[in-house]
Amino acid sequence: MNITIDGPGGSGKSTVAKLIAKKLSVSYLDTGAMYRAIAYYALKKGVEPDDEPTVIALIENLEMKLWEENGVQQVSVNGENVTPFIREHNISMAASTISKIPAVRIKLVELQRKIASVTDCIMDGRDCGSFVLPDAEYKFYMTASSDVRAERRRKELALKGQDIPFEEIKKDIEARDKQDMTRSFAPLVVPDKAVVIDTSEMTVDEVVNLICGYICR
Ligand code: DC
């Protein structure tokens, strides 16, 4: 059984997906972390995320591994565990930019489908229900106003010691929405037959209960 949750940044997908994974005893796959890992690795190597030919060369023999440690998804690139670095504010836009490159997506989608084929999982991202697993048993699309999403992201970053002004985060979120929704290859869309949930005025528990109500097990 596979469950997909797509939606823009800050809509609450990962918080909700992690709780549902625990509740239903299925694996959780954070696909955004995979794009973030490649973006981080490219920047570290001095490669600009929009330099398509150089990014393609960089990922040719790149090895990504995903595993869980104390209930937290870990990701490594060529043997380096990059998990602690991929949530930095500057990685968000870099991940969105690098994710426009079809070769990057094809490589990661292959890995995502492989994982989903051998385990019951809940996967969150931008194209999980529309492109990665169009035949998933349960598909959801979570959204919220950009003000609510920016405030959630601001709090999340502040808790990690990154104090970024609300307006800057909101601008970044809106620019990322535009980039993710308008790219030509597997853009962020509401997947066919997905249940749409606006979480602007909902608590995490309300969203979890709503989604679990759709999933008969
Ligand atoms: O969900 P996130 O904020 O960690 O995702 C970071 C970026 O990665 C997002 O702006 C676009 C890209 N992404 C994607 O293109 N497809 C996915 N399935 C997940 C993320």
Where is 73: in which H helix or E strand?
Answer: strand 72-77
Mutation probe of ligand 1 site: the residue of 5, 6, 30, 31 with most atoms within 8 A of C-beta: 31
CB of 12 within 6 A of ligand 1: the answer is: no
What residue has token string 């995979």? 34
Ligand 1 atom 12, closest CA: 96
Instruction: Check: CB of residue 96 under 8 Å from CB of residue 176.
Output: yes
C-alpha–C-alpha distance, residues 36 and 49, integer Å: 11
* pLDDT tens digit sequence for 55-104: 999 999 999 999 999 989 999 999 999 999 999 989 999 999 999 999 99
Output the CA 206–ligand 1 centroid distance in Å.
24
- In order of 9, 13, 47, 87, 160, the CA distances from 112 in angstroms are 19, 17, 24, 20, 28
pLDDT surpassing 90 at residue 217: no
3-state secondary structure of 111: helix
Beta bridge partners of 197: 142
CB of 191 within 6 A of ligand 1: the answer is: no
pLDDT surpassing 80 at residue 216: no
